């Protein structure tokens, strides 16, 4: 925890210097990237800097109390409880801000929703999840952009990729990664039998350009005609883009824009996020002491939640949360679920890093 905070503060101070570096100021794109990263770290770094200052003041107060100056002893004795109380408050605020590790305060992320087992019903469920997250994001004041879409003939989604931007976006959505299961009677089911189908969600932090170096010769770019449900052509011009990253084999496609340039820009955003996710996973695997929690694995194969329509019930299996207001949640009122997950992680952090001494 302290190592992470120290790392963030060091990076913030490096960026402070870069913001006044003539070489950086001379290149607008570089300056913009530095300014964005600086802004994303500012709240956490300045709070931790203040925490360290309080630690130093507390140490100094103890020294005065142990000294021989009676007047300073009295002043330090009176001041010490106030300093410790403020330090405790700051520590709890820092714990909250670091839920999710080093990417906790990212202001943008990429979300992928894919239909799983269940055929067309799974695709319709994937669309329902998209609508749920879209309404929730709009309620938070976040920007939502469709980066890629593969629709089905009945209006479902085989896959949809979203770009989300706004304060707290990754922190609040990070625990949505995993398998989502739905139990309901499909519209196409004449006998009223309940079916079970599934979709997977992946939420990936979106890196800054300076964090992922991606050159045009690192990937192959294929251009093709966009197609709609059932393979029907929806675009007469070749504007769809497929990127294949040579080193990792990751493939990203984008075809929902009529402009080849816009499709390429969107595909690159997704590719960079997937590369960053892989990089983070590799780094975490190297740290044998890396703390793993019940809700923070992000494993897409893990079944994390069940949506039962007949009982109007949502159950998050990781933390044992059951709510009988599925209709409200699917309408975008995700706050009880999100806050339940964050509170669970908050308590985990306090149990692990609760002491501020």
The 10s digit of each residue's pLDDT in 330-351 is 999 999 999 999 989 888 877 7
What are the counts of helices (DSSP H) followed by strands (DSSP E) for the chain? 9, 11
Q: DSSP secondary-structure letter at 65?
A: H
- Beta pairing class for 178-184 and 303-308: parallel
Nearest to 326 by CA among 306, 343, 303, 341: 306
pLDDT at 263 over 60: yes
Phi/psi of residue 161, each to 5°?
-120, 130
Q: DSSP for 255-290?
A: -SSS-HHHHHHHHHHHHHHHHHHHHHHHHHHH-TT-
Token pair for 93: 């605020």
Contact indicator for 110, 273 with CB cutoff of 8 Å: yes
Q: Cα separation of 45 and 11, whole Å?
A: 9
Q: Is 156 helix (H, G, I), strand (E, B) or coil?
A: coil
What pTM was estimated for this model as a whole?
A: 0.76
Residues paired with 91 in a beta bridge: none
Domains and CATH numbers, the chain: 2-98 (1.20.58), 103-210+286-348 (3.30.70.1660)
- 122-153 pLDDT, tens digit per residue, is 999 999 999 999 999 999 999 999 998 999 99
Pairing of strands 178-184, 157-165: unpaired
CA dist., res. 197 & res. 200, Å (int): 11
pLDDT tens-place string over residues 55-91: 999 999 999 998 888 888 989 899 999 999 999 889 8
Q: What's the N-to-C CA distance of the chain in angstroms?
A: 13
Distance CA 197, CA 122 (A): 5
How far from chain centre, in Å, is Cα 60? Answer: 40
Least confident of 5-9, 19-23, 334-338: 5-9
pLDDT value at position 60?
93
Separation of alpha carbons 196 and 308, rounded Å: 9
Q: Collect all residues with Cβ–Cβ distance below 8 Å to 269 and sequence separation of at least 6.
A: 110, 147, 163, 206
pLDDT at 79: 92
Write down the pLDDT at residue 315. 97
Query: Can you tell me whether residue 97 is helix, strand or coil?
Result: helix
Residues 247, 209, 220, 162, CA torsion sign: positive
For residue 355, what pLDDT band results from cuts at 50, 70 and 90?
A: low
- Number of CB atoms found within 10 A of residue 267's CB: 24
């Amino acid at each position: 925890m302290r190592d992470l905070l120290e790392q963030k503060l060091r990076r913030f101070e490096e960026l402070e210097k870069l913001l006044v570096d003539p070489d950086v100021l001379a290149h607008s794109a570089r300056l913009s990237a530095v300014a964005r990263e600086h802004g994303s770290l500012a709240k956490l770094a300045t709070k931790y800097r203040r925490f360290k200052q309080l630690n130093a003041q507390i140490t100094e107060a103890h020294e005065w109390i142990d000294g021989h100056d009676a007047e300073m002893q009295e002043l330090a004795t009176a001041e010490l409880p106030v300093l410790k109380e403020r330090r405790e408050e700051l520590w709890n605020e820092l714990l909250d801000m670091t839920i999710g590790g080093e990417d906790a305060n990212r202001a943008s992320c990429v979300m992928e929703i894919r239909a799983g087992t269940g055929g067309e019903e799974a695709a319709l469920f994937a669309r329902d999840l998209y609508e749920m997250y879209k309404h929730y994001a709009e309620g938070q004041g976040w920007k939502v952009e469709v980066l890629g879409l593969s629709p089905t003939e009945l209006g479902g989604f085989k896959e949809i990729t979203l770009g989300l931007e706004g304060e707290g976006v990754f922190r609040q959505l990070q625990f949505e990664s995993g398998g989502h299961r739905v139990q309901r009677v499909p519209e196409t089911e004449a006998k009223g039998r309940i079916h079970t189908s599934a979709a997977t969600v992946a939420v990936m932090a979106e890196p800054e350009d300076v964090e992922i170096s991606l050159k045009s010769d690192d990937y192959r770019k294929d251009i093709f005609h966009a197609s709609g449900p059932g393979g029907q052509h929806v675009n007469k011009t070749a504007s769809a883009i497929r990127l294949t990253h040579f080193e990792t084999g990751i493939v990203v496609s984008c075809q929902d824009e009529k402009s080849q340039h816009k499709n390429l820009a969107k595909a690159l955003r997704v590719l960079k996020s997937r590369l960053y996710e892989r990089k983070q996973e590799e780094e975490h695997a190297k740290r044998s002491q890396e703390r793993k929690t019940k809700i923070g694995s992000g494993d897409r194969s893990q079944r994390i939640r069940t949506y039962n329509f007949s009982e109007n019930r949502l159950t998050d299996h990781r933390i044992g949360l059951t709510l009988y207001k599925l209709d409200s949640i699917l309408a975008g009122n995700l706050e009880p679920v999100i806050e339940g997950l964050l509170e669970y992680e908050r308590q985990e952090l306090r149990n692990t890093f609760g002491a501020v001494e």
